[in-house]
Amino acid sequence: MTSSAGTAAEQLFAWFDESIAVSNRVIADALAGPDGLGALAQGQDDGEPISLRWIFCHMIEEYARHDGHADLLRESIDGSTGD
């Protein structure tokens, strides 16, 4: 892991957009729709395959959780809270 402290915002957004494009290509290549099996089906503890729908939901949950953490950090810095 590296720090992005010295990286311009434009570059960070470009990397983020690139990551989205890669994810979109992977999903499109799956050609199985949101109920298709994930490539790492053995990732579950019980050995059961996981669906792309499960992966999508999990990633949305993780993204929201980290956004919440970032919001808490921002609130502790500037004291501003949302409605």
Q: What is the pTM of this model?
A: 0.48
Give the residues of the chain that fall short of pLDDT 70.
1, 31-44, 47, 49, 82-83
Q: What distances in angstroms separate CA 49 from CA 22, 34, 54, one per listed residue? A: 23, 13, 10
Angle at 60 between CA 56 and CA 66, to 5 degrees: 145
Tens-place pLDDT, residues 65-77: 877 777 777 777 8
Where helices occur in 31-51 by DSSP H, the ranges are none
Domain positions in the chain: 9-78
